[in-house]
Amino acid sequence: MGPNYTVPGLPEQGRCQVMGVVNVTPDSFSDGGAWFDHGRAVDHGLHLVEEGADVVDVGGESTRPGAQRVSAEEELRRVVPVVRELSASGVAVSVDTMRARVAERSVEAGAVLVNDVSGGLADPDMARLVASSGVAYVLMHWRGHSHDMQSRAVYTDVVQEVLDELRDRMEAMISAGVAPDQIVLDPGLGFSKRPEPAHNWALLHQLERFHELGRPVLVAGSRKRFLSRLLGDPKGEDRLFTECDAATAAVTTLSADRGAWAVRVHDVRPNADAVRVASAWSDGGARLTEGRERPTARGGL
């Protein structure tokens, strides 16, 4: 297991945390449209907490390869009411956005974490918002928007280059006033990373190197194409994204064992089980009963 970190606005669990995904979009790659309705999105977020999510990540803009951006107004319309209602129910909410305006409105509505897949590059005002609000901030490795990001997946040494680029972005955010303890780092699996030549697997294989940067690490590999490709059939057809949840749980177990602070997943229950197994394995069951009486969102967190 890796070092323990305290992240502003989130309790220390003593284990890898589980971030459940609520995509309030019609076109996300894994569950596009399933939670596009406001009421269904809220109910799904509450269900994820009941299944074991520590944080619920609400996003209103698809970042699948090839996706086009939605307007800020549409993103706000999708996201803010869901953030507000989940937060009012006692859920720890993260907002998945590249826009400072959406982040600001979401923090006002109760979000405790901003998950920015662009690492502050898509919106120059993001650093100011994060610094002034004091909110926790996920800084992901990013080389460009979805419509052309895979053309930028060119590396000589993917692990070293992602490390160096994350370090540069972290230093830039700190120079802009963000406190180091606000920052969580994400190596950006699937973002400007190709299934072949195994960019994502190289990053996972050397996940412990990201502790060199001195900040907690989020792993977000759930249902991504590198898993679909790995599990493809003999004819070369990728497995469906929704049939990669067992593989996702395997990635979660290994990531937790190698010190990930959190995993971002679609199917929460098996991944919540996986991090509990990894925790018990790592300490020989010393904290076996911790969290057993976990309250649910509907009962009041």
Sorted by sequence, the CB contacts under 8 Å of residue 246 that are 6+ apart come out as 270
15, 84, 223, 224: which is the annotated catalytic residue? 224
Cα(90)–Cα(80) distance, integer angstroms: 16
Q: Tell me if residue 193 is catalytic.
A: no
Tokens of 9: 């606005």
Beta carbons of 67 and 32 less than 8 angstroms apart: no
15, 229, 264, 276: which is the annotated catalytic residue? 264
Sorted by sequence, the CB contacts under 8 Å of residue 136 that are 6+ apart come out as 7, 8, 9, 10, 112, 113, 114, 182, 184
Which H or E element spans position 22? strand 17-23
Q: Residue 116's closest CA among 107, 54, 212?
A: 107
Largest CA distance in the chain: 53
Q: Tell me if residue 224 is catalytic.
A: yes
> What sign does the dihedral 54-59-232-229 (CA atoms) show?
negative
What is the set of active-site residues? Answer: 224, 264
